[in-house]
Amino acid sequence: MLRSCIIGTGRIASSLEKDPLRPAGGTHAGAYHAHDGVQLIAGADTLPAALEEFGADWGIANEHLYSDYRHLLARERIDIASICAYAPQRLEMAQAALEAGAKGLWLEKALGCSIAEGEAIQAALQRHQATAVVDYPRRARAPFRKIKDLIETEVYGRLQSVTCHMTHQLIHTGTHAFDVLRYWCGEAVSVSGKLENGYGTEDLIKDQGGRATIEFSNGTVAFVSAYRKKYYIFQFDLIFDQARILIGNDIAKVYRPAASKLYSGFKELFEEPEYHWGATYPRDMLPELLHSMRTGEPPLYSVANAIEALRIALAIFASDAAGGKALAPFSVDPQLRIESH
């Protein structure tokens, strides 16, 4: 039986489990609770109310609830640590958990606030011979995997472009999209962008929305719109030579050309009913982490992938600072730090 803890016991860590619209096991605590081989033994949070709710929900006694995560790591024997606190503390918390003996980390996103922080987490994992997963789950889901296959086999011809619509925050939300785009299209080779509120002159620049154009190694161009809205949206619109696909949190539709109902001799797009999306990857976050701990194989939801998703986001900020100039993501200063929650 492996012993786990959660640092940062709020929404994705625990309380979202009580949302009736969400599936069971959709939080860190819920996943631990449902797994026969892992026991959730402790939690830490600076907010007393969140910590109290967490303890009551999961039957964890007060002596295993901590206002300081360092006290938790000093007093409890931990095999797996979930780091769900905000990104500015991700590096120090991950390093502390590894130094306390954890061999598996389940990290929330974003991985950090700079490329240097992400790389420091990667180095710490290697130094301690440990492994980690980062919570970017879409590359495991059947529609996203099917789309990757459609792109690579060119069943519908070439993927010409992708338009991604999301609500605000290019790092907190956007890195989800950039992880998916890399999964589909390979490495980003050029990024240009404009921030919603401008880069500014403050020493500490915070996460925000904006827009971007990203060119990928397979030739696909992605257009990203991530402005503040009065509703939530996270969707991709993929245009192929012979199809259009809409995929996102609330939609999964395929449109194929057929004879137009308006113009003779022309074809237009019509939805394919009951499209078969295939199978989901067999292991979600926790099982994948356990598999990697047991075998040493790199996990699907790897820190390396999370670093590259963050690199694309930071390139948008760097491009805005350069007047919207297109930049190669690997030219971005690894010390560029954008604070994201």
As a whole number of angstroms, the distance between CA 7 and CA 94 comes to 10
Q: What is the pLDDT of residue 282?
A: 96
Beta strands in the chain (DSSP E): 2-7, 38-44, 65-66, 80-83, 104-107, 131-134, 159-166, 188-195, 205-206, 210-216, 221-226, 234-240, 244-248, 251-259, 267-271, 338-339
The token pair that represents 267 in the structure block? 């074809």
**110 cis-preceded (ω within 30 degrees of 0):** yes
Q: Is the pLDDT of residue 200 over 90?
A: no
Could you read off the pLDDT of 94-109 as tens digits, one per residue?
A: 999 999 999 999 999 9
Q: What is the pLDDT of residue 259?
A: 97
Q: Give the mean pLDDT of the chain.
A: 96
- Written as one letter, the residue type at 337 is R
CA torsion through residues 237, 188, 281, 167, sign? negative
As a whole number of angstroms, the distance between CA 161 and CA 156 comes to 13
User: Region 147-157: what's the mean pLDDT?
Assistant: 98
Could you read off the pLDDT of 288-327 as tens digits, one per residue?
A: 999 999 999 999 999 999 999 999 999 999 999 999 999 9
Instruction: Quickly list DSSP for 165-212.
Output: EE-S-TTTTHHHHHHHHHHHH--EEEEEEEESS---S-SSEEP--EEE
What does pTM read for this prediction? 0.96
Other C-beta atoms closer than 10 Å to the C-beta of 158 total: 13
Q: What is the pLDDT of residue 199?
A: 74
Alpha-carbon distances, residue 293 vs 124, 129, 189, 261, 306 (angstroms): 15, 9, 33, 56, 18
Domains of the chain: 2-135 (3.40.50.720), 138-280+306-339 (3.30.360.10)
Q: Is the pLDDT of residue 202 over 80?
A: no
- CA geometry: angle 190, 194, 200, nearest 5 deg: 120
Q: What is the pLDDT of residue 204?
A: 53
What Rg value do the Cα atoms of the chain yield, rounded? Answer: 21
Q: Is the pLDDT of residue 203 over 90?
A: no
Q: Is the pLDDT of residue 265 over 80?
A: yes
Q: Is the pLDDT of residue 217 over 80?
A: yes
Q: What is the pLDDT of residue 9?
A: 98
Pairing of strands 210-216, 205-206: unpaired
